[in-house]
Structure 1
Amino acid sequence: MSLGKRRKTVGYSQEKLAAELGVDRTTVGRWERGETEPQPEQRPKLAELLLVDLATLDALIKGSTAPLKVSAGSPSYDDHCPGDDDMIRREFLRAIAVAGALAALSDEEAEAIAADAEREDAAGFLRMNDHLWQVYQLARSKRSVQAVVSDQLGALNNTLAARPTLGPLCMAAGDLFQLAGELAFDGNRHTDAAASYALAATASKEAGAFDLWACALVRHAYVEVASGQYPEAVGLLSVAERVAKRGDSALSTRQWVAAVQAEAHAGLGHLTECERALDAAEEVLHLGDQAHNGGWLRFDGSRLAEERGARYVQLGALDKAEDALNTALKQAPLARGQSFRRRGVVLADLAAIGAKRRDPEQVVAYGTEALRLARQSSSGYVARRLKGLQAEIGALADSRVAALGAEIAALSTT
């Protein structure tokens, strides 16, 4: 990897990196082209910003001494393919097996030294993971984050293979594989998503991180929910509930488990169980500001109205659904930060209510706006909701609804 590629991987522009270092942007450009090198006194700060040690920084600098040649065939974020995910997962399983064997063979003193080194490595990976979750949440097109997450997973695999202890690095892996799964799920690659979540659960269990482990199980269960496999989802969520009870009660893990349980029960047509789970999820409102971390645990109660509305749509309780979804739109309008993806799903649900009521005006008004947001965000999640709407509006004899259905049919879910 070159110095410039590492800069992009951690999310810095040349201008921002230069500002952090107190140098001119052109200086960073000359470093990356191999025309000059950072001065010794600049290197510790540069290594800290790039989340590498000094030896790795030196290798990056020496790797960039030749002028960069960018051809038309250079890989982009969209060149990533599902086969890359499979290779990364295999590498992780191999690395964790090697690390486990080394841990069993190492003596106490060597293990203590290795554990200190691993904690230092893990701290750097966790900082980078936090950054990547923020990039993921802000990205309008989630696909744009795929390549950098794959790079980080590759680096984590390499580091794990060289360490004879498992705990802290497995914590970082359990975190990062959940983000990789989110990217796969949003791209409608359910098999890749499930595999990533399974590895996240394995890594989290190795780390003894109960909340992280429970969140991996919740995400895995959601793949089953999205595929309509509600009994399987209920089974997974029951395990997640038990794991979460061994975690930190000050975190919102248990409430997130309940929120997804509500969706699984709604899919099975169980109104009483669904409402009980929704009420349990609302307990998040009594937790403090530190109940979520904005990364692998993001459940903060801000989506309770839209969650309740979506569940009532599933159950056919249309008046309750409409009240909850309209509340969701008022509570978090797009101008105040509601994501394109979230707003698109709420609008698709409101259009679905119109379809169930055989109201073409409501279908067209909300469905058209949801379609626009699906196109702007390239979200497979919103596209899948619209595909579900398409099946419901087929019986409405209205030319505008027919045109909307045709546009949804042409919408890619990937």
Structure 2
Amino acid sequence: MTLRDRRKSLGYSQERMAHLLGVDRTTVGRWDRGEHEPQPEFRPKLAELLCVDLVTLDALIKESSAPPEGHAGSPSHDAHGSGDDDMIRREFLRVIAMAGALAALSAEEVDAVAADAEREDAAGFLRMNSHLWQVYQLARSKRSVQPVVSDQLSALNESLAERPTVGPLCAAAGDLFQLAGELAFDGNRQTDAAASYSLAASASKEAGAFDLWACALIRHAYVEMAGGHYREAVGLLSVAERVAKRGDSTLSTRQWVAAVQAEAYAGSGLLKECEQALDAAEKVLDLGDHAHNGGWLRFDGSRLAEERGARYVQLGALDKAEAALTTALKQAPLAKGHSFRRRGVVLADLAAIGAKRRDPEQVVVYGTEALRLARESSSGYVARRLQALQAEIGSLAGDHRVAELGAEIAALSTT
């Protein structure tokens, strides 16, 4: 891992990092590229921001300065890694561009037999995509799903390249690129996630699939919020809201937009707007059991208590937050299928409440359990919540149990 990887995994932009360190953005850029090493006077603060010790920071600096692996004749990315994803995305864009040109030149030559074959192909991919979403939801370690998703993306590209038009297959691509983005986001590869979500939105728009398109925009907003860019997220979600209104009103897309808008408003410190958005999200409970498909659209209202609790944590309304989060744990205990990722996030939020109250016992009890689930699930999403917790517990570090928890979170962050 390089300095750049570490910085991005924690959601810092170059501008934000530069501001916190009191240097120019171009200086952070030179550190990222390994052109210069951080001067000694900046290293303690840099290590603190990156949640590592000075020894680990030194290793990150050396890794940043090392030549790319590919220069020595070894592969520059491991199997099904971010380089593989980038190649698949480029191939998809190439195929779409070629298909568009061919369709314009020979639309009259595309007969009904070819169109039927393409629809049949699309149906097969959609069925497989649906299965992969289920596998993703059930997988304890999300990264274990990456190879089969990459293989499915490669197969989709091959099928696209063989077709004179790509309309029906675009919906399958919009679906599958969202799953690829989820895997990247959970693995803290936020640039890859954003690129996949952008392609998903473009493919969904091409297919005229408004709900699918809106969901891609919602997921892209999560990437912005992970970087602390709440204003940008509000803008994306405003577009998602307009797109969703053109979709199927019996689906929960509009309510999911509202739930994520609540997070963006909370991050911006807007309590009234946040609560209004949460109230709008609760209307999902009026839609019935078929408001989602369990794949690219999974919002069913079952997470409303934990969502409300997490938003109140952001806004500092601790009593309201604790009541909602405690309810969330009781409603969906792990033994009844509550995912490791979801439960880990709720526990991390409860630990954060303890930190804000200066209650070391609450921090240790909930934080330790969240850390265990983060390790067992390899979830970057839970790890990010724990990193946020680590920033909160500084004043409690005099308690040896809290100090040990902080050290373990730091160690998790470097693996």
For normalisation by structure 1, the TM-score amounts to: 0.80
Measured against aligned partners, the alpha-carbon deviations of 1:110-144 in whole angstroms (never above 9, x if no partner) come to 24332111101001101110110011111110111
Q: Which amino acid counterpart does residue 371 of structure 1 have in structure 2? A: L
Corresponding position of 1:411: 412
1:293 is paired with a residue of what secondary structure? coil
Corresponding position of 1:341: 341
Shift of 1:368: 0.5
Report % sequence identity. Answer: 86
The aligned runs of 1:128-277 (5 Å cut-off) are 128-277=128-277
Corresponding position of 1:398: 399
2:140 is paired with a residue of what secondary structure? coil
The aligned runs of 1:278-297 (5 Å cut-off) are 278-297=278-297
Q: Is the 8 A contact 1:380 1:413 kept in 2?
A: no
The alpha-carbon distance between structure 1 residues 218 and 413, as it changes in their structure 2 partners (threshold 3 A), is farther
The alpha-carbon distance between structure 1 residues 388 and 95, as it changes in their structure 2 partners (threshold 3 A), is same
Q: Is the 8 A contact 1:178 1:216 kept in 2?
A: yes
Shift of 1:172: 0.1
Q: Which amino acid counterpart does residue 271 of structure 1 have in structure 2? A: L
Q: Which amino acid counterpart does residue 402 of structure 1 have in structure 2? A: A
Shift of 1:109: 5.2
Structure 1 Cα separation of the partners of residues 312 and 107 of structure 2: 58
For normalisation by structure 2, the TM-score amounts to: 0.80
Measured against aligned partners, the alpha-carbon deviations of 1:193-239 in whole angstroms (never above 9, x if no partner) come to 00000000000000000000000000001100111000000000000
Q: Which has the higher contact order (CA 8 A, sep 6+)?
A: 2
Measured against aligned partners, the alpha-carbon deviations of 1:304-343 in whole angstroms (never above 9, x if no partner) come to 0000000000000000000000000000000010000000
Looking at CA atoms only, which structure, 1 or 2, has the larger radius of gyration?
A: 1
Structure 2 Cα separation of the partners of residues 105 and 111 of structure 1: 14
Structure 2 Cα separation of the partners of residues 78 and 132 of structure 1: 22
Greater CA drift, 404-413 or 243-252: 404-413
Structure 2 Cα separation of the partners of residues 234 and 94 of structure 1: 31
Query: Displaced runs of 4+ in structure 1, greater than 3 A?
Result: none
Structure 2 Cα separation of the partners of residues 206 and 395 of structure 1: 52
Unaligned runs of 5+ in 1: 1-74
Q: Paired residues, what number?
A: 339
Corresponding position of 2:351: 351
Structure 2 Cα separation of the partners of residues 358 and 277 of structure 1: 30
Corresponding position of 1:332: 332
Q: Is the 8 A contact 1:78 1:144 kept in 2?
A: no
Q: Which amino acid counterpart does residue 368 of structure 1 have in structure 2? A: T
Q: Is the 8 A contact 1:99 1:162 kept in 2?
A: no
Greater CA drift, 394-403 or 101-110: 101-110
Measured against aligned partners, the alpha-carbon deviations of 1:52-87 in whole angstroms (never above 9, x if no partner) come to xxxxxxxxxxxxxxxxxxxxxxx9x97322111110
Structure 1 Cα separation of the partners of residues 314 and 110 of structure 2: 57
Structure 2 Cα separation of the partners of residues 413 and 115 of structure 1: 50
Shift of 1:370: 0.4
Shift of 1:167: 1.9
Q: Which amino acid counterpart does residue 324 of structure 1 have in structure 2? A: A
Unaligned runs of 5+ in 2: 1-74
Corresponding position of 2:34: none
Measured against aligned partners, the alpha-carbon deviations of 1:255-292 in whole angstroms (never above 9, x if no partner) come to 00000000000000000000000000000000021100
Structure 1 Cα separation of the partners of residues 311 and 207 of structure 2: 34
1:249 is paired with a residue of what secondary structure? coil
Q: Which amino acid counterpart does residue 137 of structure 2 have in structure 1? A: Q
Corresponding position of 1:117: 117
Structure 1 Cα separation of the partners of residues 167 and 212 of structure 2: 13
Structure 1 Cα separation of the partners of residues 274 and 107 of structure 2: 52
Structure 2 Cα separation of the partners of residues 78 and 135 of structure 1: 22
The aligned runs of 1:56-75 (5 Å cut-off) are none
Q: Which amino acid counterpart does residue 374 of structure 2 have in structure 1? A: A
Corresponding position of 2:375: 375
Structure 1 Cα separation of the partners of residues 218 and 414 of structure 2: 22
Greater CA drift, 393-402 or 293-302: 393-402
Greater CA drift, 188-197 or 393-402: 393-402
Corresponding position of 2:86: 86
Q: Is the 8 A contact 1:103 1:111 kept in 2?
A: no
Shift of 1:412: 3.2
Q: Is the 8 A contact 1:383 1:413 kept in 2?
A: no
Q: Is the 8 A contact 1:181 1:197 kept in 2?
A: yes
Shift of 1:106: 1.9
Q: Is the 8 A contact 2:110 2:164 kept in 1?
A: no
The alpha-carbon distance between structure 1 residues 338 and 170, as it changes in their structure 2 partners (threshold 3 A), is same
Shift of 1:108: 2.9
